Amino acid sequence: MMFDLSNKTIVITGAGSGIGKAIATTLAAQNAFVHILDLDEAAGIAAMEAIHSIGGQCRSSIADVSDLDKIKQVLEEIESESPIDILINNAGIGHVGTAENTTPEFFDRIYNINVRGYYHTIHALLPYLIKRSKGNIINLASVAGTVGISERFAYSVSKGAVLSMTRSVAKDFIKQGIRCNSISPGRVHTPFVDGYIAKNYPGKEEEIFAQLAKTQPIGRMGEPKEIASLALYLCSDESAFVTGTDFPIDGGFIKLNS
């Protein structure tokens, strides 16, 4: 069966909701054993239970990706039970602001989660992957990292760093049998988007949603399951010849707006 992930152990950060949850569910449906790492314990448990309800194998752990010692501890515990085959860095936060009005404190927060968080998991896992001479790392980036998004200064900077991190890891460890790729979604309809609109545009939810959807040339937002399908390909042996590459999945946003 194509895209079969039997006997693969996969760690996904920030998989308690949104894109991360969709990826975890999709991979578990293809027979992977999925480890959800999320700071929100309740969300992680709910996602785990949803996967169990469809017969998937899953475990959830509390993890703050900005805490390197905690990440090392969690990954060591998982490794002691089953070697980790694939790491998917997905945990991240957004922010609205320009270089003028973004505070140093929030810039640091974005960096600590969106950039250092990815570094922490990669840094902690690499010794295991190098020892086995194989491994697969997938980083969730964003179209913002390629073209920049208005009033998303800190977020765009962080995702640009993720793109460079992906290429660097792929180049440095290709001879050790380790692949590293990234996925750059455009705007995707997640609970985060709904919450953002409700908070900032009360009473205008439908109007603002329609405006945001139209920023993709294809005329709509993406769905988490669509991002998950691309992640499935990159996790599978069918993508064994792919490394050091970013995959935009954006309804034409980058190419048709440039």
Closest CA to 137 of 100, 116, 168: 168
| Burial label, 50 (beta-carbon count in 10 A; 0-12, 13-18, 19+) | middle
> Residue 192: its pLDDT value, please?
86
Per-residue pLDDT at 4 exceeds 70: yes
Beta-sheet pairing, 135-140 with 57-62 = unpaired
What percent of the chain is modeled with pLDDT above 90? 93
Q: Give the tens place of pLDDT for each residue, 35-69.
A: 999 999 999 999 999 999 999 999 999 999 999 99
* Terminal alpha carbon distance of the chain: 39
Q: Which domains, ranges and CATH numbers included, belong to the chain? A: 9-188+223-257 (3.40.50.720)
Q: Give the 3-state secondary structure of 98-162.
A: CCCCCCHHHHHHHHHHHHHHHHHHHHHHHHHHHHHCCEEEEEECCCHHHHCCCCEHHHHHHHHHH
Is 155 part of the annotated catalytic residue set?
A: yes
pLDDT bin (cut points 50, 70, 90) of residue 194 is: very high
Q: What is the pLDDT of residues 154-189, one digit of tens each?
A: 999 999 999 999 999 999 999 999 999 999 999 999
Q: For residue range 70-96, what is the model confidence (pLDDT) as tens digits? A: 999 999 999 999 999 999 999 999 888
d(CA 245, CA 166): 8
Which of 111, 118, 119, 155 does the annotation list as catalytic?
A: 155
Whether pLDDT at 258 is above 80: no
pLDDT of residue 119: 98
